[in-house]
Amino acid sequence: MGGLAAAGLSLAGCGPATTALDSRTPVRQWNLFTGGDGARMVQMHDAYRSEHPGIDFRPTTYLWGNPFYTKFTMGAAGGRAFDIATLHLSRLRGMGPGTLIDPVPVDVLAEFGVTENDVLPNIWDKCVVDGQLYAIPLDTHLVVTYFNRDICDSAGVLDADGELIQPTSEEEFIDLLAAVKDVTGQYGIAMDTTGAWRQFWSLYRQLGGEMTFDGELGIDDDKALRVLDLLRRICQEGLAPEVSDAPGTPANFQNEIAGLMFAGNWEITTFQDAGMNFGMQPFPGIYGEALGQGDSHAFVLPHRRTPNDAAVRAAVEYAAWMLKNSITWAKGGHVPAYLPVTESAQYNELKPQVNYREAAEKVQYDPQAWFSGSAAQLQNEANSVFAGVHNGSVTPEEALERFKRAARKLINTPEPV
């Protein structure tokens, strides 16, 4: 039994860092990529292994969202869980930089070909906490507009280049949806009403809305209500389904129940595999600048109780390799953070990815708080409350008050890390 227990610990990645049977440098990587993302990550990892025979590389994938972040926190606190992990940049400050997460040695990162000049400033700055780099950004992923070219052509809403006409006001947007609905006979646009935060935050930021949590909630009620009323109106006028979840939204678009869709750029593979004739553009600038809610996947290093320069070096080299080879990742819809990739001839040939490349320069990360970010409680509360605006069960005013109460409760909750 003792021998079996020892073998089990080794298989679980909790055994000693090196063994007498394998002199290779171990790199244990944790991530939260499943589905299409997971398949591309496996493809990249296979290529990494073939080019690094001296590395004993062992990735582990956990369920997306809270299951992963709970495991991450426990593993990092234990001190022997992984050598490098992937997380959302919006969650970085709440996951213990300086306690559970160690700084990235920028000199080592530069040695492997990645510097501040290779990443968009707005993304690099998000990786810096108290003047130190704590994350290596892999990509930007954000809500964008999908459009069925055949339906939109019949609706007369394509320009001379065959791209979707961009609305610049509420009324132009409503007219666009109505024209598309006339062709589909059902809806103009599909959007995830159970994930209403994405649409809300995109439009709220376009209006210049801020949200702060410094002891008390800071929010512009007038701007928030204007956005919620637009979302209510779209559904009330039958231009979008009142209820549509994450799986149902792309299905509605693929089945031509709607000719447009708001969704994350990672849905691209679904429609390519289906052979659809579709295009993609940034989230429309209905209230001005075309700003869209989004996030970035990034690599972080766990805090080490015992310094291990060789292990850190190997982990940083892995992250740099992933950035430099992220053209594979781009094929799944995400915009690589590494500028030499997004500015390359290879990327320029990716359609329709190249059409929303500039959206990464304006990505709107969630407001800063330990309870904010991808799969965090603030999003969950907003999604739950704002879904009622879409289906008509609550008014915009009622929804806003419920959201504010939930946000204040989170502000008064002690930070766990």
Where does a domain end: 346, 362, 378?
Answer: 362
The pLDDT value recorded for residue 4 is 34
Q: CA separation (Å) from 160 to 15, 350, 351?
A: 62, 21, 18
Round to whole Å and give the CA distance between 224 and 244. 22
Round to whole Å and give the CA distance between 114 and 413. 38
Residue 199 and residue 177 share a domain: yes
Residue 284 and residue 221 share a domain: yes
Residue 267 and residue 240 share a domain: yes
pLDDT beyond 80 at 22: no
Round to whole Å and give the CA distance between 59 and 84. 9
Q: CA separation (Å) from 398 to 194, 229, 266, 403?
A: 17, 11, 33, 9
pLDDT beyond 50 at 416: yes
Residue 173 and residue 43 share a domain: no
Q: Which residue has the tokens 């359609």?
A: 351
Q: Which domain holds residue 389?
A: 142-289+366-411
Least confident of 6-10, 18-22, 142-146: 6-10
Q: What CATH number is attached to the domain comprising 166?
A: 3.40.190.10
Residue 96 and residue 32 share a domain: yes
Instruction: State pLDDT tens for residues 150-192.
Output: 999 999 999 999 999 999 999 999 999 999 999 999 999 999 9
**What is the number of domains present in the chain?**
2
Residue 2 lies in a domain: no
Instruction: Give the number of other CB atoms < 10 A from CB of residue 270.
Output: 18
Q: Is the peptide bond before 103 cis (omega within 30 degrees of 0)?
A: no
Residue 260 and residue 164 share a domain: yes
- One-letter amino acid of 295: D
Instruction: State pLDDT tens for residues 362-405.
Output: 999 999 999 999 999 999 999 999 999 999 999 999 999 999 99
Residue 112 lies in a domain: yes
Residue 385 and residue 274 share a domain: yes
Residue 167 and residue 133 share a domain: no
pLDDT beyond 80 at 81: no
Round to whole Å and give the CA distance between 149 and 94. 41
Residue 330 lies in a domain: yes
Round to whole Å and give the CA distance between 219 and 209. 7
Residue 19 lies in a domain: no
Residue 383 and residue 241 share a domain: yes
Q: CA separation (Å) from 108 to 49, 182, 205, 369, 405?
A: 21, 57, 37, 30, 46
pTM equals 0.92
Q: How sure is the predictor about 96, in pLDDT bands with cuts at 50, 70 and 90?
A: confident
Residue 9 lies in a domain: no
Beta-carbon contacts of 33 under 8 Å, excluding residues fewer than 6 positions away, are 40, 41, 61, 64, 86
Residue 4 lies in a domain: no
User: End-to-end distance of the chain based on CA atoms, in angstroms?
Assistant: 37
Residue 160 and residue 88 share a domain: no
> What are 84's strand-pairing partners?
29
Residue 310 and residue 264 share a domain: no
Residue 11 lies in a domain: no
Q: CA separation (Å) from 360 to 333, 342, 343, 363?
A: 12, 11, 13, 5
> What are 266's strand-pairing partners?
none
pLDDT beyond 70 at 10: no
Residue 208 and residue 69 share a domain: no
Instruction: Give the number of other CB atoms < 10 A from CB of residue 57.
Output: 18
The pLDDT value recorded for residue 307 is 85
Round to whole Å and give the CA distance between 30 and 68. 9
Residue 92 lies in a domain: yes
